Structure 1
Amino acid sequence: MRIISGIYKSRKIVAPKNLPVRPTTDMAKESLFNILNNLFYFDEISVLDLFAGTGNISYEFVSRGTQNITCVDQDYGCIKFINQTAEAFEMPINTIKSDVFKFLEKSSLQTDVIFADPPYNFSEEQFSKIPELVFKNNMLLENGILIIEHSKHTDLSNLNHYNYSKSYGGNIFSFFEIA
C-alpha cells in the first residue's frame, strides 16, 4: 500500500502477509479522500478508525495533517504493526486493542470522522450495529460523519442516519450523518 498525498506522499508501507486484513485499494482511498478534502480541514479534525487493520486509512489522515487519530482493532498483529509504523514515521496514532463492538458500547470518545472497514462478510445485523452504537453513544462531533466501507453486495441505505454512498469498483463507502 502507498500513501496517496501529504507529507508522506508516495511512501510505501508493506504489511506482514499473515495479518487478517483487506486493505482499501489505492483507487478507492484516493476517491474517498477527494470527498473528505471538500468537507474538512484535515489539520482541524479528529478521527476514529474502526477495524483499522494495517492502519492504511489512518496513515493517509496523518499524512494530510490530522494529529488526533485513534485506531481500534481486535487483532494483536494489526495493533503491533500500526504501532511500529507510527513509531517509525513519528505519526501521532493511538491504538486500542479491542473488539470494535465492545469498544463502541463503552467509549465516550467523540470525533469528527469515524471510518469503519469491517469484514465484507459481516451480516446485515453486524453492519447495522455500527451506526446504531455510534449514534446512540453520540460519538460524532457536530458536522461529523461515519463512513462504512463495504462490498457492492451489501446495501446499507435502509439504516438510520444513512445519507449517501459512493462506489469505486467493488468498494462502496456509505456515509452516515447526524440528522
Structure 2
Amino acid sequence: MRIIAGAHKGAKLTSPSGANTRPTSDRVKESLFSMLDGYGVLQAANVLDLFAGSGGLGFEAMSRGAAQVDFVDSSLAATRALESNADKLGLDHSSEVHTGDVLHYLSGLPGQEDPESRVFDLVFMDPPYPLGEDAVTQILRRLSAHLDMESIVVVERAARSPEPTMPDGLEVFRAKTFGETAIHFVQLSGEADTDQKTAD
C-alpha cells in the first residue's frame, strides 16, 4: 500500500502482520480524494480514521494537507503498524493512535457541553463488511455528536450491502460505487448542497 498524492506521494505503508485488513484500492482512493478535494474539506482538517487498519486513508489525508488524524483500531497488529507508519512518515507529532473498540472510543470522547469536546472535519469509516448494519448505525449515532455542519463522514461498505441506515440528524448526500466497493458521503441533515445530493 502506498500514498498516491501530496507531500508523501509514493511512500509505502506497512500493513498489519497477520491482520485481516481490507485496504482501499488506489482506484477508489484516487476518486474518493478527488471528491473530497472538490468539497474543500482536506486543508488543515481534523480527521478521524475509524477501523483504520494500516491508516491508508488517514495518512493520505495528511499527505494532502490535513492537520491532525486520530486513528482507531481494535487490532494490536494494526495499531503497531499505524505507529510505525506515523514514525516513518515523520507524522507522529500530528497523529494519535488508539487501540480499542470504535464504539468504546466514541463513548469516551467528551460531550458537546464539555469544553474539551472534539469536533472532526472529516471521518473515514471503513468497518469490516461482516459488521451488522445496526452496529454501523449505532456508530454513526455516537459519531454525530462530534460533527459540525461542514463535517463529512465517508462510509465504505460492500456494494452488495444496503445503504447504511442513518440515525436521526444524519443524511447520505452522495453515493458512489466502484466495482465491489460503495462509498457513502454523510453529513448532518440539512447542510448538503442540493446540487450534490446525487447517487452517481
Q: Distance in 1 between matches of 2:154 and 2:166?
A: 13
The aligned counterpart of 1:124 is 133
Q: Is the 8 A contact 2:68 2:95 kept in 1?
A: yes
The aligned counterpart of 2:123 is 114
The aligned counterpart of 1:22 is 22
Q: Deviations over 1:73-95 (max 9, x none)?
A: 11111111111110111012211
Aligned length: 177
Q: Distance in 2 between matches of 1:23 and 1:123?
A: 20
Q: What TM-score, normalized to structure 1?
A: 0.92
Which blocks of at least 5 consecutive residues in structure 1 are unaligned? Answer: none
- Higher gyration radius (CA): 2
Q: Is the 8 A contact 1:112 1:142 kept in 2?
A: no
Q: Distance in 2 between matches of 1:41 and 1:144?
A: 8
Deviation larger for 167-176 or 6-15: 6-15
SS at match of 2:43: helix
Change (3 A) 1:33 1:150: same
Q: Distance in 1 between matches of 2:165 and 2:77?
A: 34
Tell me how far 1:39 sits from its aligned partner: 1.0
Aligned residue among 143, 146, 149 for 1:134: 143
Q: Distance in 1 between matches of 2:133 and 2:161?
A: 8
Change (3 A) 1:17 1:80: closer
Two-structure CA RMSD over aligned residues (Å): 1.5
Tell me how far 1:41 sits from its aligned partner: 4.9
Deviation larger for 83-92 or 149-158: 149-158
Q: Is the 8 A contact 2:47 2:68 kept in 1?
A: yes
Q: Distance in 1 between matches of 2:42 and 2:165?
A: 30
Q: Is the 8 A contact 1:110 1:140 kept in 2?
A: yes
The aligned counterpart of 1:53 is 53
Q: What TM-score, normalized to structure 2?
A: 0.83
> What letter matches 2:85 in structure 1?
T
Q: Is the 8 A contact 1:156 1:162 kept in 2?
A: no
Q: Deviations over 1:101-133 (max 9, x none)?
A: 111222132110111110011112112112111
The aligned counterpart of 1:168 is 178
Q: Is the 8 A contact 2:52 2:126 kept in 1?
A: yes
Q: Is the 8 A contact 1:166 1:174 kept in 2?
A: yes
Q: Is the 8 A contact 1:50 1:114 kept in 2?
A: yes
Tell me how far 1:145 sits from its aligned partner: 1.2
Change (3 A) 1:85 1:142: same
Q: Distance in 1 between matches of 2:26 and 2:40?
A: 20
Q: Distance in 2 between matches of 1:154 and 1:124?
A: 9
The aligned counterpart of 2:107 is 105
Q: Is the 8 A contact 2:52 2:71 kept in 1?
A: yes
Tell me how far 1:158 sits from its aligned partner: 4.1
Q: Deviations over 1:136-165 (max 9, x none)?
A: xx2113310111110012122542322221
Tell me how far 1:40 sits from its aligned partner: 2.0
